[in-house]
Amino acid sequence: MSCHKKAGNYLMGSLCKYLFVCLLALSLVACNGKLETSKLVQEQADSVIPKQGKITEVSPPEVIQQLRLEIDSLYQPQVSITSPAKDAVLEDSTLSVAVDVKDLKIFQSKDLGLGPHLELIVDNQIKRSIYSTKDPVVLENLAPGTHTLRLFAVKPWGESFKNDGAYAETTFHLYSKTGENAPTPSQPLLTFNQPQGIYMGEPVLLDFYLTNAPLHLVAKQSEEDAIENWRIKVTTNGETFYLDRWEPIYLAGFSKGKNWVQLEYINEKGIPITNAFNTTVRVIDYQADETDPLSRLMRNEIPIDQARAIVDPDYQKPLPAEPQEPVTPEIEEPPSSTTTAEPQEPVTPEIEEPPSSTTTVEPQEPVTPEIEEPTKAPAPARLFFS
């Protein structure tokens, strides 16, 4: 009986899961089975990093884990490119780019030089960091043809925000439209974020942004549907591993000097998904620096009370408590030895004098005790006989 009950519970659970998946797929799938949203469920699958290789995955620094929780609870950034307009045709090789961000305070801390900011990528060139939106970003010497701008919000230590709205892009044309640098809107798009440029210490952040990528839950339902599951192929200095989750990871094992990292967006069969920028390689210059603020942050050498200033510009570090002066107890001084105490007159105790021997005691007359006379017994009764 228990076996039938367990089997029934199992079938009921499987049916509920199947119905849930169907409802989710119907709510998300649109044109030709592709997902229009840029959201992507961050699944907890393990990354496939070979243990025998030199490059290894390590845990994020503890201070960054704490700051990540705090900044994600404070902000859900919404970014936009207000100029140039989408598909605009321009006739000037110098371009002013106007950007905007809401629900995020971008700034650069005075002490550490770190803070939330925006990253702007022209085509697939090296990104530019933006800490203020008051003035436009000026681009010079643009080549004629089609260009694409990508903008996304970034945390102080380099991780990109993954919430919906934290990314924006626009494609414009200089003099004339051409085929390069124009992503296909219906195809998934991979944006390389980190690492790049000069990196001062380990661990090294690996981070990227995905657009139009399907949900794993939907893509795994059937191998015959039009929705292709995905992975990110990572190659570092010739070592290759794969990621199937959309979240930052931290790596160690880089050699001092030049290193290279390549990211490729591939499908479930290992075939690259063709789109502009879906395969990108970056060269980084790894230089161990003991004093660089970001390196110190990565090594957990900056206390959390000081590091919070790179997340919130209004944060005030608690002042150290003022030391209390020790309180010396007052000791009562003994009376001075020079003080002469006035002699006290001896007190003679009063002694009660005994009665004087001259006192005559008058003799007392003896008292004769009264003797009670015995009661006379009644006379016996006389008996008379006739």
pLDDT band at 209 (very low <50, low <70, confident <90, very high): very high
Residue type, 306: Q
Query: In the prediction, which pLDDT does 3 show?
Result: 45
Query: In the prediction, which pLDDT does 246 show?
Result: 94
CA distance 213 to 227: 10
Q: State the pTM of this model.
A: 0.71
Query: Beta partners for 147?
Result: 172
Query: In the prediction, which pLDDT does 340 show?
Result: 52
pLDDT band at 80 (very low <50, low <70, confident <90, very high): very high
Between β-strands 117-122 and 230-236, what pairing exists: parallel, antiparallel or unpaired? unpaired
Distances in Å between the Cα of 61 and the Cα atoms of 29, 73, 117, 245, 249 are 38, 19, 20, 19, 11
Contact yes or no for 214/41 (Cβ under 8 A): no
CA distance 330 to 140: 79
Lowest mean pLDDT among 69-83, 122-136, 326-340: 326-340
The alpha carbon dihedral of 50, 66, 99, 80 has a sign of: positive
Query: In the prediction, which pLDDT does 47 show?
Result: 47
Contact yes or no for 213/186 (Cβ under 8 A): no
Q: What is the mean pLDDT of the chain?
A: 80
Query: In the prediction, which pLDDT does 324 show?
Result: 72
Using only C-alpha atoms, the chain has a radius of gyration, in whole angstroms, of 48
Burial (0-12, 13-18, 19+ Cβ within 10 Å), 52: exposed
Place of tokens 């499987």: 14
pLDDT band at 290 (very low <50, low <70, confident <90, very high): confident
pLDDT band at 215 (very low <50, low <70, confident <90, very high): confident
Mean pLDDT of 244-265: 95
Reduced to 3 states, what is the DSSP secondary structure of residue 28? helix
pLDDT over 50 at 293, yes or no: yes
Distances in Å between the Cα of 122 and the Cα atoms of 94, 95, 331 are 13, 11, 79
Lowest mean pLDDT among 126-140, 188-202, 327-341: 327-341
pLDDT band at 297 (very low <50, low <70, confident <90, very high): very high
Query: In the prediction, which pLDDT does 81 show?
Result: 98
pLDDT over 80 at 104, yes or no: yes
Continuous segment of H or E residues that includes residue 278: none
Of the candidates 38, 20, 31, 10, the residue with the CA atom closest to the CA atom of residue 218: 20
Of all residues in the chain, what percent carry a pLDDT higher than 70? Answer: 68
Lowest mean pLDDT among 4-13, 156-165, 207-216: 4-13
CA distance 118 to 135: 13
Place of tokens 């931290």: 250
Of the candidates 258, 70, 56, 71, the residue with the CA atom closest to the CA atom of residue 161: 71
Query: In the prediction, which pLDDT does 345 show?
Result: 63
CA distance 352 to 23: 117
- Which tokens belong to 142? 């643009």
- Give the single-character DSSP code of 33: G
Q: What is the distance of C-alpha 105 from the center of its chain? A: 18
CA distance 252 to 303: 22
CA distance 362 to 345: 44
Residue type, 222: S
Between β-strands 78-83 and 89-90, what pairing exists: parallel, antiparallel or unpaired? unpaired
Contact yes or no for 22/220 (Cβ under 8 A): no
Mean pLDDT of 193-213: 94
The alpha carbon dihedral of 124, 126, 132, 137 has a sign of: negative
Query: In the prediction, which pLDDT does 277 show?
Result: 96
